[in-house]
């Protein structure tokens, strides 16, 4: 999972080892661990914050900053991902992005 997320982020122009990308990968991992839709802040971001020993707000704002960064200078990979995920006309929220990546990874797996 970590490797697939890293490949995706590389296509978006996110540098390796970006802490916010780490938060996002962790959040996606939690979302992928269950078929239920989890509460973003209470269940997903809370678990990420405990793993990284930071506040839920730090995780949330870190992922939001990453989204802002991607929106400010969109790489082709990001634009393509947004189009495939159905939010090319809007900036995705933290929750929408987590679940869009989860769907993307499931699709990738089914193509193999």
Mean pLDDT over residues 3-7, rounded? Answer: 93
- Round to the nearest angstrom and report the end-to-end CA distance of the chain: 14
| 8 A C-beta contact, residue 31 and residue 23 | no
Q: What is the pLDDT of residues 92-107, one digit of tens each?
A: 999 999 999 999 999 9
What's the pLDDT tens digit per position in 24-49?
Answer: 999 999 999 999 999 999 999 999 99
Cα dihedral 66, 56, 44, 52 sign: positive
Assessment of whether the complete model's pTM goes beyond 0.85: yes
Q: Do residues 108 and 81 touch, judged by C-beta distance below 8 A?
A: no
């Amino acid at each position: 999972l970590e490797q697939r997320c890293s490949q995706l982020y590389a296509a978006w122009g996110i540098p390796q080892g970006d802490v916010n990308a780490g938060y996002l990968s962790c959040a996606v991992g939690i979302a992928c661990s269950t078929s239920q839709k989890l509460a973003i802040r209470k269940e997903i971001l809370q678990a990420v914050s405990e793993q990284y020993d930071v506040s839920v707000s730090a995780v949330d704002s870190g992922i939001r900053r990453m989204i802002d960064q991607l929106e400010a200078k969109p790489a082709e990979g990001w634009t393509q991902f947004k189009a495939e995920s159905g939010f090319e006309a809007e900036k995705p929220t933290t929750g929408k992005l987590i679940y869009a990546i989860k769907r993307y990874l499931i699709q990738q797996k089914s193509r193999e």
